[in-house]
Amino acid sequence: MCGIIGYIGPNDATPYLLEGLRRMEYRGYDSAGVALYNGTGLEIRRAAGKIAKLDAVLTAEPITGSPGIGHTRWATHGPPVERNAHPHMSGDGTVAVVHNGIIENSTVLRAALEGLGYVFKSDTDTEVLAHLIEELFEGRLEDAVVDALRRVEGTYGIAVISSKDPGKIVAARKGSPLLIGIGEGANFLASDASAILTHTRQVVYLNDGDVAVIEKDRYRVIDIDAQPQRRSVSRIEWDLSEIERGGYDHFMLKEIFEQPRSIENTMRGRLILEDGTAKLGGINLSHEQLMKIDNIVITACGTSWHSALIGELFLEELARIPTEVEYASEFRYRNPIVNERTLCIVISQSGETADTLAAMREAKRRGARTLGLVNVVGSTIAREDDGGVYLHAGPEIGVASTKAFTSQVIALALFTLKLARKRDLSVVRGREIAQALDALPALIEAALKGAPEVERIAEEFKDATNFLYLGRGYNFPAALEGALKLKEISYIHAEGYPAAEMKHGPIALIDEQMPVVFVAPHDSVFDKIVSNIQEVKARGGKTIVITSRDEPSLAGLMDHEIRIPETLDMLMPIVASVPLQLLAYYIAVKRGANVDQPRNLAKSVTVE
Ligand code: F6R
């Protein structure tokens, strides 16, 4: 969602803030701003639009000093215009605040502050914090922040500076990630490790409820009752090159092409080929606990929800455990059947998605054990789950998830293999699956070779206004994911459907204008899907068929064919994802869309 950066040290903060904001621009990019202490007072610069706009404002009207805080915004309250951009200043200009999250009682607080004579300049919920901290200030910034937060309901990651107590940045988190970066003679604050990686690898992840007081040569963490807290220092293990484009036009394309390696990394050291199983060090589930699981609930959002659907099929087919997939956003508002014999698998690339985190907490509250499948190391879900499987896909910067999706499916396959081999699955079948997983990176490599053909197809369909994506069995979730990819980056309306379900409604949409993408590899339901392709052809629809063999039954049915290599049925959606991702990518590029930063979206959705 939004990004927060802070710097305190001997140098001018502005370059650090701008660099950090640029690296976090993928998280929120409708407006940005910085505030810093110039030796006598606070100054701010803000701009609507991308960081480049803020850079231009700072070039025209430079400010210098330290400490400084910065923010890149994804609008919740009020449109993305300069007056709503963060930082927000208090009435007398002595306090500046940046904030991720939502202050739920801002209306009440605003009315009370207006009653005290404060004049609001923005439509945001954040501005109440600035005024409230000014109102409560009695000498130490951290005391005023703590006092203010006691009156606040909602979620936040905040950074605050004050000209009345200028030697520090005070930060606090509840539901929105923040970390302290420990430098030499300087310290940093960020919502995302990528923002500070060029300066330090030593970080302290803040927990919900933490308040941090960051000075240039020390920091301390307290809780909302001002009690000191001990937090350990972690080391960021990935490299800067992983968050740079490396010669590709977009992060999304780079991440699509990284998949042979990213899935290899998800599997590294985990597959045991001879035993047909997997070794997963972090799941924290004993043999007895694995044997006691009665049912599994998988909860996630968006793309991660699509991988969950594939996981459900794995778990039921191979481990024979009743499994349900729940949208995280719905899960906690109903009365799910979850108890201490339930395993709740939580899937999240970012590990910060507010709905998913809340669903996981609800599952825990009901006594379930939780297992997080998370990409971002040190993220909140990864720290709060009972056990986990890190995806190790490397940082995913493109807003549209690609390599994290395929790694999620791999992680689900590994976990299923482990669980199934303990319960119902023969070693022979286990070995077959393990070997197929092992061979997968090469197949993804081969599927990527089809990129030029996919690009040609994209050229033909770039002006379409609607798309249907159809698949059956394991490839129905792949179809859903293909449709999501297309709509989020190209803004073309697209729907995914189980292919046979089409005749119960969506078939009415088929005409000569309607491209229909079939995910139809040669698997156990291939003959069935051929009939569905015929139904579309008979109505003049344009078919783009992703398939894996020369099949006489497809003759005359494919306006376009995309050939992918074959593997086990259960792993086909991973291979099929490659052309689906590429098709969305090339169509979006040809339409002139900003694929890495699609409108209205943000990489990590930390509001409900
Ligand atoms: C789609 C996409 C989103 C995310 C969803 C969940 O390309 O990226 O649909 O999958 O917001 O995010 P995570 O996996 O971070 O919980």
Strand partners for 86: none
- Going by C-alpha positions, the residue among 358, 294, 293 that lies closest to residue 329 is 358
Q: Can you give the pLDDT at residue 242?
A: 78
Helix (H, G, I), strand (E, B) or coil at 426: coil
CA distances from residue 8 to 20, 182, 185, 214 in whole angstroms, order as listed = 13, 11, 9, 8
Catalytic residue among 2, 403, 485, 542: 2
Ligand 1 mean position, distance from CA 349 (Å): 7
Its CATH class, for the domain covering 243-448, is alpha beta
307 CB near ligand 1 (under 6 Å)? no
Domain ranges of the chain: 3-236, 243-448, 451-590
259 CB near ligand 1 (under 6 Å)? no
Cis peptide, bond prior to residue 67, ω within 30 of zero: yes
Catalytic residue among 168, 254, 542, 603: 603
Query: In this model, does residue 449 exceed pLDDT 80?
Result: yes
* Helix (H), strand (E), coil (C) string for 373-403: EECCCCCHHHHHCCEEEECCCCCCCCCCCCH
Residue range 451-590 in CATH 3.40.50.10490: yes
| Per-residue pLDDT tens digits for 165-196 | 999 999 999 988 999 999 999 999 999 898 99
Q: 513 and 468 in contact (C-beta within 8 Å)?
A: no
Strands 42-48 and 31-37, by their bridges, are antiparallel
Torsion-angle region of residue 500: left (phi > 0), alpha (psi -120 to 50) or beta? alpha
488 CB near ligand 1 (under 6 Å)? yes
Pick from 130-144, 227-241, 487-501, 585-599: least confident: 227-241
Catalytic residue list contains 603: yes
Report the predicted TM-score, pTM, of the whole model to 2 decimal places.
0.86
| Per-residue pLDDT tens digits for 54-101 | 999 999 999 999 999 999 987 777 788 899 999 999 999 999 999 998
CATH for 3-236 is 3.60.20.10
Pick from 80-84, 217-221, 290-294, 459-463: least confident: 80-84
Instruction: Look at ligand 1, atom 16, and give the residue with the nearest C-alpha.
Output: 348
Query: In this model, does residue 560 exceed pLDDT 70?
Result: yes
How far apart are the C-alpha atoms of 358 and 362, rounded to whole Å? 6
Query: In this model, does residue 459 exceed pLDDT 70?
Result: yes
Q: Is the dihedral of CA 455, 459, 465, 467 positive or negative?
A: negative
Q: 414 and 422 in contact (C-beta within 8 Å)?
A: no
Proportion of the chain above pLDDT 70, given as a percent: 99
> Sorting pLDDT into bands at 50, 70 and 90, what band is 28?
low
How far apart are the C-alpha atoms of 524 and 440, rounded to whole Å? 19
Beta-strand runs (E) in 328-477: 342-348, 369-374, 387-390, 466-471
Instruction: Look at ligand 1, atom 5, and give the residue with the nearest C-alpha.
Output: 302
Ligand 1 mean position, distance from CA 551 (Å): 36
Instruction: Look at ligand 1, atom 4, and give the residue with the nearest C-alpha.
Output: 302
**Residue 234 identity (one-letter amino acid):** S
Ligand 1 mean position, distance from CA 308 (Å): 12
Check if 243-448 and 451-590 are the same fold.
yes
